[in-house]
Chains A and B, each alone.
Chain A
Amino acid sequence: MAITVNIPTILRPLTDNQRRVELSGATVQDIIENLEQQHTGIKEKLLADGQVHQFINIYVNDDDIRFSDGLATAVKEGDSVTILPSVAGG
């Protein structure tokens, strides 16, 4: 069941400073919902209007979900999901 979610520094205050959280789910969307169940407030940091924020990168293993199926990207036991705020500016 376990999928490891790597939490970026800026969101660790919402996960009791845990760097990694183990969750279950079949898609990235499930993972975010389950993360929200355990750590209220994290979902709104990741999504806006049901889409991933433009400057949040979410990866399943080595792949940015933008280039696969977005929130519908499938995950399975043993996968790792990494959340990283994109480093960007003007």
Chain B
Amino acid sequence: MLIITPRLIEVMIAQARKEHPYETCGIIAGVEGSNKPKRLIPMQNVAQSRTFFQFDSKQQLQVWREMTARGEEPIVIYHSHTDSAAYPSREDVLYASEPQAHYLIISTTNTHSDSVRSFRIVNGTVTEERIKQVAEQEAALTMRLEMV
């Protein structure tokens, strides 16, 4: 299950709408091992495509270094589908390389307007998971309860 604040979801949807019809992409970093997405970083899609996204390699290095320095990791890796449902494509599965991350997809098509779904992608296997939207303080409480 992905526990995330409604605010972060809103920001991702707004970015996806703004960049439509091109695919948008980015990450939400959080403290390593915390499973709590905190710091949203929009990434540049160098593919500038309606059917593909790829992080800019220079920006990726910089962002990954910054996360390492702050003791963070990518908790959420998100992108949009501008002409299909919010379900991982063949390429999404093939190139997924962060087994600890929640892969979040936002669909900006008319038929799936602003639908947001989250998946784990590990060794080529896709597992959909529930997204639980909770406000900040409430999220902290839920995390504590789960640890009991």
**Measuring CB to CB, which residues of chain A are less than 8 angstroms from any residue of chain B?**
8-10, 55, 57, 59, 62, 64, 66, 82, 84-90
A87, B143: Cα distance in complex, Å: 28
Closest Cβ–Cβ distance, residue A52 to chain B (whole Å): 12
In the complex, the answer to whether A90 meets B57 with C-beta atoms within 8 Å is no
A84, B62: Cα distance in complex, Å: 11
Closest Cβ–Cβ distance, residue A67 to chain B (whole Å): 9
In the complex, the answer to whether A87 meets B95 with C-beta atoms within 8 Å is yes
Looking at A9, A62, A66, A82, the one whose CB has the most chain B CB atoms below 10 A away is: A9
**Measuring CB to CB, which residues of chain B are less than 8 angstroms from any residue of chain A?**
25, 27, 43, 47, 51-55, 57-58, 60-61, 64-65, 73, 77, 79, 88-92, 94-100
A4, B49: Cα distance in complex, Å: 35
Q: Tell me if B's interface is mostly helix, strand, loop or mixed.
A: mixed
By Cβ-Cβ distance, the 3 closest A-B pairs, closest first, are A90-B91, A85-B97, A90-B89
Closest Cβ–Cβ distance, residue A84 to chain B (whole Å): 6
A87, B94: Cα distance in complex, Å: 11
In the complex, the answer to whether A9 meets B100 with C-beta atoms within 8 Å is yes
A9-B54 contact, Cβ under 8 Å, with A84-B64, A89-B91: no
Instruction: Kindly list chain A residues whose C-beta atoms are within 8 Å of the C-beta of B88.
Output: 89
In the complex, the answer to whether B61 meets A64 with C-beta atoms within 8 Å is yes
Identity of the chain A residue whose Cβ is nearest the Cβ of B47 in the assembled complex:
A88
In the complex, the answer to whether B54 meets A87 with C-beta atoms within 8 Å is yes
In the complex, the answer to whether B100 meets A57 with C-beta atoms within 8 Å is no
In the complex, the answer to whether A57 meets B99 with C-beta atoms within 8 Å is no
In the complex, the answer to whether A88 meets B54 with C-beta atoms within 8 Å is yes
A8-B61 contact, Cβ under 8 Å, with A87-B54, A88-B52, A90-B90: no
Besides the known contacts A9-B100, A89-B79, 13 further A-B residue pairs in the complex with CB atoms under 8 A apart: A10-B97, A59-B61, A82-B64, A84-B61, A86-B60, A86-B95, A87-B55, A88-B47, A88-B52, A89-B52, A89-B89, A90-B89, A90-B90
In the complex, the answer to whether A9 meets B98 with C-beta atoms within 8 Å is yes
Identity of the chain B residue whose Cβ is nearest the Cβ of A57 in the assembled complex:
B57
Instruction: Kindly list chain A residues whose C-beta atoms are within 8 Å of the C-beta of B96.
Output: 89
